[in-house]
Structure 1
């Protein structure tokens, strides 16, 4: 029977003295899956990755790779390879020697190691680069060498510790796509940690959002973005508008009426037991119009004025001072139509559906 998971963590806890860095985390990763752990600095994600790699031992719980417990198995005996943010390439070696290093360390003959390294370099788009110095490569090429060095050993699992963090913005955007394509080509299981939500959303099959040592939610990028399970996920994944208020009535279908501090009433969806609430609306879910009648079908409709135009090409947005809101409402700037060239100070109407506003207990 085929193994159904490549990685399983079962109630893993890691304590450093009185501090609990990882608090009862359990999850599984399927063969060929690109699984990301997303969270802010200090949330425990690096500690979790180091335990999977074998650099740290869990205080309790189990870590299994293809069904076999790794407790007590040293890092160099695990079917795992790791790509670090620094890449850790050897500058005194050629590209080919870097890729072949792990093979020769395992007793593979030099001739076979060179042949396998050459084939791997060709597969990652670096054919003919074997004799070059790694110091002569671009940042993206060095990334591919680091990936090749891992994949040539045919590991069950590749761990990636924020490998794009040191790249400039344009190269990072390019490498997100290239890394996902490489993973799909080799069909190798990737476990990736990052604090950059864009990296996780673009590349991952599934994402675990981590906060203070725990997983807040595990799901597909679409699930996390459109159906956050907690206020932290709603705030951390993607841009959003966030307002505090009080529940002022709920319907059986999950519709909740919220009274903002100004007294303004809005309607959203959620299961709220307490009166204190947090409400979230994505900027792209906010409809814009020059007159209120164009938003007639929306239950949440407000008049305001543009306070700022944040131009960022296709991702540009507006900040709108809307009546009854203490903070500006952020909405996506249309790329075409009568509102595309709107200026600061212009009147505008905003609105959104009940479904677009996610409501949680504060």
Structure 2
């Protein structure tokens, strides 16, 4: 067996000891010179494919952003990022998987705002705590939803809509994609500001809403700012306002609620999260790489195509503050209006 550091022979004790001490010193020097490389070698990340859980179906909003980001992360980090679609239960199923996963950076979450900030108040019996069990890593996009009406509705902007509806309490229904959805709570926030009265009709999906609006079954709705754009451009729907702090890049003519005199400062967003306990080094690396991907021409084109605004770049700490602020805002709307999922 070969000995890398052999003991000195009896006939050359002093020289052997000097060689041994020199060798040991060189090994110590090498470790001291490059401790970062030594640490990475001992704890490589990612060391296997990364599971990226998306609490939505293939082709859904979060899925459309998660896939190109996952593809680029795989190229940069040298391991595949595999999308795992887990729709259902307003995001609770997918979020719970990640909240309970090992915090080693190999299971991550790519989700939308409502699954974290609205569920935190609306779903008191969740099997996890969204603020305690999930670490915000990076925010992706920041936009809003359209308040849309049918072409025959007698309003051309948000002010005339409020005036018309206020003079006809309970005369109109409005649709959203479910109890506790962003569309539902945005209208409830507008009702709190203005005193208007409309009845809520929850649908399962936005495409169902758009279909019924074209058929005249419902005349008012909050809808997403992507799938509704072709109908708006064709004159089959009219967008009166967009919630959030920014106009959609593909529909710059549609003013925000705030610009029209009805303050609303909360954005919808997508975001990446990690299980609590994930190392700060992994979180910071993911944040830097995703923000770099978002700045690429290809991703900017996707944002334009899907009518999603790009907010300022945020650190994990800044994104975490956004999450906390949104939980406070939406929690107040839910509690004030006594909204429940029952």
TM range (shorter): under 0.3
More strand by share: 1
More helix by share: 2
Q: TM-score, normalised by structure 1?
A: 0.21
